[in-house]
Structure formats: C-alpha cells, structure tokens
Amino acid sequence: MPKLKKELTLIDVFSVAVGAMISSGLFILPGIAYAQAGPAVIVSYFIAGLFAMTGMLSQAELVSAMPKAGGTYFYVTRSMGPAVGTVNGLITWFSLSLKSVFALVGMAAFVKLIVGINIHIIVFVLCAVFIIINLVGIKEAGRVQVVLVFFLLTALVFYIIRGIPAVKAANFEPFVKGGWRAIFSTAGFVFISYGGLLKVASIAEETKNPAYIAPRAMMFSMFSVGIIYFFVVFVATGVLGDKLALSASSLTPISDSAQVIMGRGGRIILDIAAVLAFISTANAGIMAASRYPLALSRDGLLGDFLSRVNKRFNTPHNAILFTGLLMMIVLLFKLKVLIEAASTVLILTYMFSCFSIIIMRESRIQNYKPRFCAPFYPFVQIIGILGFGFLLLEMGYEALFISIILIIGGFLVYWFYGRIRSNSEYALLHIIERITAKELTTNLLESELKEIIRERDEITKDRFDHIIESAAVLDIKDSLEVDELFKRIAGIVSKRLGLPYEDILSRLWGREKEGNTAITPTLAIPHIIIEGKHIFDIFLIRIKKGVYFSDSAENVHAVFVLVGTKDERNFHLRSLAAIAQIVQDADFDKRWQRARNENELKDLILLSERKR
C-alpha cells in the first residue's frame, strides 16, 4: 500500500487546526448566533468549547495510538466496526467538506464588496486553486497554512487590544434574552467553529513524530482558539450590541465592529484577516477531508481508485479531486442548511470519539498503546456523550432529521458495497468475547496495531526482533516444578535445533547449579552454550500459576531461554541486555500474565521500548 510522506511539523499541524477553526465560525456566525441568543452568545461559544474539549481529549489519545490517514474514521472502525466506521467516515468527510464550502461562501461575501464578478464563479475558481495546491503536495499546503495563520492571529490580537476599551456594559443588558434553551441551541449551532480539530486527526499519518505532535497541536490550538473566540465575540457584542444581529444579513459582523472601533482602516484590516481565514479553512479543509475517502478506500469500503497516491507528489490525487467535486456541488446549498448540517455531523463525530476511547480501553487490547492518555477517564467521555446528545436535541428536529438521513446513507453504502469487500476485526468484538466467553476474534487487530506502532515509533527490526518473531513458545496453564520445566524446555530445544535431549537437559541443570537463573521473583533467564557455529535461538515460556526456582523466586511466570554457540557470545550479551530493558517496565509481569495467546506474548516483547 502506498505510504504518505511524514512532512508536517508541530507548527504546521497547529496552523492547520487554527486556520480551520478561526474562519466562518468567527467572522460570520457571531451575528447569526447573536440573533438567537443575544449577548449570552459568548456563553454559547464557551459551552460549545467545553463540549469540544471532551471530544478533543478523546481524539488526542486515539490519534496518539493510531496516527493514520482518515483520523476519526480509522479509530472508530477499529473500535466499533466497519459499519459504524463507514457512517463516521462519510459524515466526517461531508462535515469537513461543508465547513470548507462554508468558508468559501464567507469569502464570497467579502469579495462581493470589491468586485462585480458573479460570486459562484469566484468560489469555483478558488476551490480549483486549492485543489491544485493540495495535489502538488501537503508540505507546500502546510507552508501556506503557517503564513496565513500568522497574519490571521496578528490581526485578531490587534482587534482585541483596540476593541476592549470600546466595549459598553449596556450592550450586555439584558444578558439572557431568549432563555437558557436558546443559549444551548446556539451552542450546538456554533459547534462547527471547533471542527478544525478533526483535521489534525486526519493528517496524522503525514505528521513527523505524530504520537507527540498531534495531541499537543490539538491542545494548543483548542486553548488558543477558545481564548480568541471568547474575546473577539465579547468585543463584537460589547461594541455593536443589538446591531450585531443586523450584521447577520451582511455576514460581516467582526468587520462591522472593527469599523466602529478603528474606522475604515480597521475594517480593511479585519476584512483582510477574514479573507485569510477563509482561505486557510478552504486549504486545510481539502487537505483533511480528502484523507477520509482515502482511508475508506484502503479498507475496501469505497472504490480502490480513491486510495491511489500520485507517484510524483505523493498525494492522494483521486481522493482530493473527489473531495473538490463534492465541495463544488454543495456550493449550491443555502447557508443555514450548510451550518446546521456541518454542526450536526461534527457533534456526531465527537460523540463517536468518546465511545471509541471507552471501547478501546475496555477491550484491553494489548497493542493499544497511546502516547497520550486522556485524563479523568471515563468521566470526561460520559459527560461528552451526554452533552453532545443534549446539544443535538436542543438544535431541533431539522438537525436530527439531517443526522438520521446521513447515518442511513452511510449504512446503505456499507451494506451494498463495503460489507461485501471488507473483513476487519474491531475492539468491540473483544469486549463481547470477554463477556460471552466465546472466541470471536483472531489476531488481525493486534497485528495491525503492532504495525502502526512500529511505523509511529519508527521501530526498525533488528536481529533480536526477527528471532522473537519466529521463537518457539510454551504456554503452560498449571504450576509445575523446575525439573519438569527443564524437561519440557529440553524437549522443544531438542526438537527445534536437532540436538540430543539428554545433552540439553544436562546443560540446563549445569548452568542452574553454577548460579540461580531467576533474576527477579517472577522472571528467569536460563542460558546455555552448545557445540557448533552460528547458532542462536530464544525460547519463550509462560507458566500461568508459576514455578518455584528458589526461596527468592517462588513464583516465576516468565522464562526466557537463550541457546547459542560460543561464536554468538556478543549477540548473546546483547539479547540479555534487550530482555533486561524490556522487563524493567513496571507493568511487564501483569501484561505478560494477561496476554491471551502466543502472538500477544511476542508482541509484548517486540513493542516494548528498548535501545536498538
């Protein structure tokens, strides 16, 4: 399968998220939102941000464990299965594309003030330009994003500093005009403002050191944008008051307030900032949205042509073109429909993220190893799920209708296309397996997660890894004495290496008499030298109920047997050092005992941190 280049840095990813969030949600929505909630619109933005934070923490953990193209789709599929994953992937792709179109429509409102060209022509041309930028390469798109976001943040900070002294307290009275229900329904309406976080998850595969960078980029951008939103909407409300609602028709509320604060020059600065924001959102939108059909195609849930990567630019050209086509089609939709549809599916996506982290953790899959762990689990996720459900209900029947239609559409795509071609394993099956005591899974998900960790942590296989992968394993359920253990070890060594059974058994006892090979109360490493050249092997033994080695090692569960010739002495010592690093993990013994099969025992060793 073609791989995407890892070229995005922390500043690139931060810029993608910020550029995606600070756009239409800030430059257009405040006027429309004020018309619904009054001055309490600042509370609506704050509530939306709190709920977005619960989803962000869940996504940060998931993306640090599985940094793959398709972001939310990828980990929803691996946690809840391909049917739910298909629904999530398609609605997220739809949401990100809608948000990008929303930005282009916003930009058209400003362009209309300058030129007399038909708005739709301008929007189509701009859409085509950003499609080309993304086709050429994500590194180039990332550089454009950094420049745009720098100027955007500078302009907004300038607006806040100049605007706070002009705020009038009278413009916040009465504060709650439409009641608390209006505040919560408006929070759902403006939730699309926090959609940029999804874009970090979708481009994680193309990020350098994604397990470190992606979660931090999400948190930095979330807090930065939350502060910007609060103060910008606070200034706009405090300066314009009820006139802010009138700006809903012009779609330029922040620019209108900038003109009051700083005159014509201030308006021009904020107009430019708005256009930059819309450009950055459209750019980031195509970049992120196109990774969802790519991921769906990789899993056999959409056509193979969508997973093709351009050999020259290493970009998913068909997925980008397909996303651009969708954006051009939905350009014909009404603005309010765009906002409601985008916010609705975004809320659903965040809800899926909260469910996913609960399922991944409770499945106890050994190879689920996030670098960032969401705090206060599971309370944050439960609060998020309940909160997102409440927001959907408060948004009204139209939003629920849109949600149902999109979900049904996603299931139909899966049923008639993906179901026939996809054969994936998911974490929910592991939970059901544990509850019912029926074997429902193989090792597919564990193997896939193992390869993801290797790619994420840039693990290069060495000789020790190759030996462990092919090692013979003894998994003993009952307790036994050390003499019986040595007999069993001698049996598998003799069979594997073609050496005399009695000779192996004699060497094992000879080494044990020289010194106890149990190095901890739960771990022993018997190692013997044999005749010959260029022979070295490792045997893995787990004794569930333990074996007595000595008074200081009465219950040994893990036994690593090293067998080699004299000329392999140096590698013998390196293997001992590797094992020593692996077993230093405080949770090693617990995870060794919890492993369900031979593959999981090997994965525990292969994926442990050690110097290579």
Q: Place 384 in a pLDDT band, splitting at 50, 70 and 90.
A: very high
**Contact (CB, 8 A) for 347 and 310:** no
pLDDT over 90 percentage in the chain: 28
The first and second tokens of residue 326, run together, are 């969708």
pLDDT (tens digit, 9 = 90+) per residue, 208-238?
Answer: 888 888 889 889 989 999 999 999 999 999 9
Q: At what angle do helices 427-436 and 71-80 cross, to 10 degrees?
A: 20
pLDDT digits (tens, 9 = 90+) for 409-449: 888 888 888 777 766 778 888 888 877 767 767 778 888 88
Q: Is the pTM of this model over 0.75?
A: yes
Q: Which domains does the chain have, with CATH numbers?
A: 10-421 (1.20.1740.10), 459-606 (3.40.930.10)
Instruction: Kindly tell me if the per-residue pLDDT of 509 is higher than 50.
Output: yes
Q: pLDDT for 256-299, tens place per residue?
A: 889 989 988 888 888 888 887 787 777 767 777 787 788 788 87
In this predicted structure, which of 49-58, 68-77, 270-279 has the lowest mean pLDDT?
Answer: 68-77
The secondary structure of 237-283 as a DSSP string is HHHHTTHHHHHHHHT-HHHHHHHHHHHHHHHHHHHHHHHHHHHHHHH
Q: Say how far apart CA 440 and CA 10 lie, in whole Å.
A: 40
Average of per-residue pLDDT across 135-142: 62
What beta strand segments (E) does 416-575 contain?
A: 472-476, 480-481, 518-520, 523-524, 527-530, 536-548, 556-565
Averaged confidence pLDDT in the chain: 84
The per-residue pLDDT for range 320-347, each reduced to its tens digit, is 888 888 888 877 767 667 677 778 888 8
Q: Render pLDDT for 338-371 as a digit per residue (tens, 0 to 9).
A: 677 778 888 888 898 999 999 999 988 888 989 8
